[in-house]
Chain A
Amino acid sequence: DVVMTQSPLSLPVTLGQPASISCRSSQSLVYSDGNTYLNWFQQRPGQSPRRLIYKVSNRDSGVPDRFSGSGSGTDFTLKINRVEAEDVGVYFCMQGTHWPYTFGQGTKLEIK
């Protein structure tokens, strides 16, 4: 299975400051159709996961533009421009290129 490795695992951030999460995959996530199926999810306490970003850099409907995704091949990044209180939770990267789809171990974002 493809192993997804995130860093850091814990991310204390001051309100209004930027935040960045890295995700690396154990093999390339470029699919045979040329797309890279790397997604980012947010899971707030007590809630189901919510996808923020699909195919590396595409924001889902209703996702604030302070969230952005970038990367290629095996290295990917989620950035939050200015962290707000509602951003507290755990963030996961997830690959949908190779079966079975796999998740990173999660990065817990908290407010300093």
Chain B
Amino acid sequence: QVQFVQSGAEVKKPGASVKVSCKASGYTFTSYAVHWVRQAPGQRLEWMGWINAGNGDTKYSQRFQGRVTITRDTSASTAYMELSSLTSEDTAVYYCTRTAAAAGVNNWGQGTLVTISS
């Protein structure tokens, strides 16, 4: 079955960067985009961006433009999300997801808690 396993929780200082990984299994990795969504305490879910796992094209939300970089390693069926210049407002659970407008094509990782604290 389709599964996404994300890297473990992180604690970072303000101004630092964090890189979260998302390993996919159970489907052909290069056939779908991998998206990144975050959930901050008391805030709405936010769509950050995505990567076409086949050709590496990326699209980012303007809100994160310049601070987020999404990459992938096709040999490892793994996508990565790096967020820089962290502030306390970046404290959130970060999810990777595969999604398409078709039945059953919506799978989520378990989430990675990133805490920003001095």
Contacts and interface: CB of A to CB of B under 8 A. Distances in A.
A54 B45 contact: no
Interface residues of A, number: 24
A55 B45 contact: no
Given A37-B101, A48-B111, A55-B101, A101 B47 contact: yes
B95 to A, nearest CB: 6
Contacts of B59: 99
* B-side interface size class: 20 to 34
A7 interface: no
Contacts of B80: none
Interface string A69-112: 00000000000000000000000101010011111111000000
B103 A61 contact: yes
A58 B108 CA distance: 19
Contacts of A96: 99, 101
Chain A at the B interface: mostly helix, strand, loop or mixed?
Answer: loop
A104 B106 contact: no
Nearest to B49: A100
The 9 closest A-B pairs by CB, nearest first: A61-B104, A100-B61, A51-B106, A48-B108, A101-B47, A103-B45, A61-B103, A100-B47, A103-B44
Interface of B: 37, 44-47, 59, 61-63, 95, 99, 101-104, 106, 108-111
